[in-house]
Amino acid sequence: MSGEIAFNPDDKYNAFLTTCRKAPHGTGKLAGVAVAVKDNISTLNIETTCASKILKGYIPPYDAHAVGLLKSEGAAIVGKTNMDEFGMGTTTENSGFGPTLNPCDTTRVPGGSSGGSAAAVAAGMVRMALGTDTGGSIRCPAAFCGIVGLKPSYGRVSRYGLIAYSNSLEQIGPMGKTVTDVSTLMGVIAGYDRHDTSSLNKPYNHTPKADIKGLRIGIPQEYFGKGVDSQVAAVVKKAIGRLEELGATTVPCSIPSMEYALAAYYVTCTCEASSNLARFDGVRYGPAADTKKSWHDAYQEVRSAAFGPEVRRRIMLGTFALSSGYYGKYYAKAQIARENIKADFNRIFADVDVIAGPTMPTIAFKLKEKSDPLSMYLADILTVPANLAGIPAISVPCGKSEGMPVGLQIMGRMFDDERVVDVAYAYEQAVN
């Protein structure tokens, strides 16, 4: 039966930017299920800001493809979740509307950039949420908040309506408390969309299976090396031990190209962002400049005032990297590095079925702990390889360190999303 659900959460964590007090819903697989949507995904008639002041008041006249699919399966869109402005960050502190707090420990960040979605699920305000993952933005907050998050293979979920930050890296993906919920949500949002020509006709019709006997798991040395907290590494190793007990075998491996992963990632995403974010000028949407200046100066005024410091930094970096004479040195080089990373994964996947390691090198940071941008960028090292290669990766809670959740990351072959879901499900079933 279709109807309406009331949604009045006690949002102690600033997880939501917008809530819909009465959310209509239809019938279908998600009939009446409250779903939160990250604020960089367009929702018809619901304000969508990417947590940026430059989009304050912007009400999209259309639904993102994934949101349309949610509605057609009966889901109730109950609100828009907080995030790092335009997805640029690993903590959700870069929101133009205040940080989200981690429900497990409110002195800590929930991770980012889909921190609002993760917190809303972790605090039980919604059963499921949509996030987006450009360099770890679903998996990082899932790990920090102790929930499940899947970054699908590039092309399995339509990006139409996702306000682009870095087109060639990002995907919309499901977040939930259980692997089953994440799998259900994935089943609704995956598939071809003629509006996104990078999407593929690979629908996801899968029920998670816990049998992983004979599964070969690659363990890359880089995921347990320098920069990875030893306690986090120990928790994850123990979790992988559980998978072995379930009949999987582990194979040590190495991803030498990871040395260039962060550089390739930050060059690619800043270049694409500098172009994607150029359209925000206050003319067609968002607050206009109160000015009588000519268009050129008015643009400058609006953009300087409304973009946050991290967004401005990345636009500057990307603009520089794409400047005449630098394309070959930066963007083109970064794409070569991506090819090398893909080649490394292909080589490893010739021998193993999945790759496992920690999602994040540490537990959730304290608020304001990552004040210098570079140290924040370094925290993405374990998540960006999957985005650079386009492969699926899931984060599933696998224990605690210092009382905070730790995420086990499972990466799979291109379009083998079902397999990473199965491995996560096997682990989840074994420990519960």
Partner 1 sequence: MVDAEDQVIVGLEVHCQLDTKSKLFCGCSTDYRSDGPNTHVCPICLGLPGAMPALNKRAIQYAMKVAKALNCEVLNESEFSRKNYFYPDLDKAYQITQYDKPLAEGGYVEIESDEGGERKIRLTRIHVEEDPGRLVHMGNVERGKYSLVDYNRAGIPLIEIVSEPDMRSPKEARKFLNKLRAKLEYLSVFDSEKEGSLRVDANISIKGNERVEVKNITSYKGVEKALLFEVTRQKNLIRRGQKIERETRHYLEARGVTQSARSKEQENDYRYFPEPDLRPLRVKSWVDGIILPELPDARRERFIAEYGCSLNHARTLTGELKLANFFEKVVASDKAGLAPLASTWIADTLIGELNYRDMSLDKVEPAAMTGLVLLLKAGTITDKSGVEVLRVMLDQRLKNETVETPDAIVKRLNLAKTTGDSGAIAAAVEAAITENPKALEDYRAGKGGALNFLVGQVMKKTRGKADPAELNRMLTEALKKREA
58 binds partner 1 (CB under 8 A): yes
d(CA 98, CA 365): 16
61 binds partner 1 (CB under 8 A): yes
Query: Which of 93, 144, 102 is CA-nearest to residue 123?
Result: 102
Among 161, 176, 218, 361, binds partner 1 (CB under 8 A): 161
Question: Residue 338 Cβ, how far from partner 1 at the closest point, in Å?
Answer: 12
283 binds partner 1 (CB under 8 A): yes
Question: Residue 326 Cβ, how far from partner 1 at the closest point, in Å?
Answer: 9
274 binds partner 1 (CB under 8 A): yes
Strands of the 128-133 sheet, one edge to the other: 16-19, 76-81, 34-38, 128-133, 171-176, 148-151, 393-401, 404-412, 354-358, 216-220, 249-253
- Which stretch, 144-152, 212-220, 293-301, 392-400, contacts partner 1 (CB under 8 A)? 293-301
62 binds partner 1 (CB under 8 A): yes
38 is catalytic: yes
How many DSSP H helices and E strands does the chain contain?
12, 13
Q: Indicate the SS3 state at residue 236.
A: helix
- Treating both helix axes as pointing N-terminal to C-terminal, what angle do 261-276 and 309-322 enclose, rounded to 10 degrees? 100
196 binds partner 1 (CB under 8 A): yes
113 is catalytic: yes
- Contact between 41 and 17 (Cβ < 8 Å): no
Question: Residue 380 Cβ, how far from partner 1 at the closest point, in Å?
Answer: 19
226 is catalytic: no
Among 207, 295, 339, 366, binds partner 1 (CB under 8 A): 295
88 binds partner 1 (CB under 8 A): no
What residues contact 340, with CB distance under 8 A and at least 6 apart? Answer: 257, 260
Between 67 and 356, CB nearer to partner 1:
67
CA dihedral 397, 399, 404, 410 (to 10 degrees): -40
Catalytic residues: 38, 113, 137
Q: Which residues bind partner 1 (CB under 8 A)?
A: 41-42, 48, 50, 55, 58, 60-62, 64, 159-164, 167-168, 194-198, 271-272, 274-275, 278-281, 283-285, 295-296, 299, 319, 322-324, 327, 331
